[in-house]
Chain A
């Protein structure tokens, strides 16, 4: 790889790493919970890119699917549940689907 190519890759690595750090900070510091979760999902996707750059394709697949996708879905469902009415005794039997 020539010097210009590796410099470009170095810049890309720096940008991805900066994006991950900035998104992580945003995810934990945002006032709005929903926005924080969205930033967390974006951070997961950037981490999938980082796994690709680190020669870890298995991790990239797993991070995109489980780390960003499924964890994100779980967090969004929790944000939704927390915004809704409380069920102090858990769901009653008559509310079963």
Chain B
């Protein structure tokens, strides 16, 4: 298998792992890590599709570079939100659907 195919399929597997973890895990921090894993999987798949013949196509590289920075920015903000959720509700998990958030500000 060419390196492209190996890493591209690995990227697809990462997307699957991340999606499963995002849905199933309860803790917010684990959900954020799962989102990052999905992101990394997407980056791998994108770049693995880039060098089709000879030298690589620079456009997916630039897009993934942008993607890495945006992913870290979003992660930073998401982590801040998770900490504030913990401050407001006592645990870093999303409340079950249908329940009111007990003790949160503004309730």
Contact = CB atoms under 8 A, between A and B. Distances in A.
Main secondary structure of the interface of B (DSSP, over half): helix
Band of interface residues on A:
35 or more
Given A74-B79, A88-B105, A28 B21 contact: yes
Contact of A78 (B40, B51, B83): B83
B60 to A, nearest CB: 9
Nearest to A85: B87
Interface of B: 1, 3-4, 6-7, 9-10, 13-14, 17-18, 20-21, 25, 27, 29-30, 32-34, 36-37, 40-41, 43-44, 47-48, 50-51, 55-56, 61, 64-65, 68-69, 71-72, 75-76, 79, 82-84, 86-88, 90, 92, 105
Contacts of A77: 79
B17 A28 contact: yes
A59 B14 contact: no
Contacts of B84: 90
A66 B71 CA distance: 10
A41 to B, nearest CB: 11
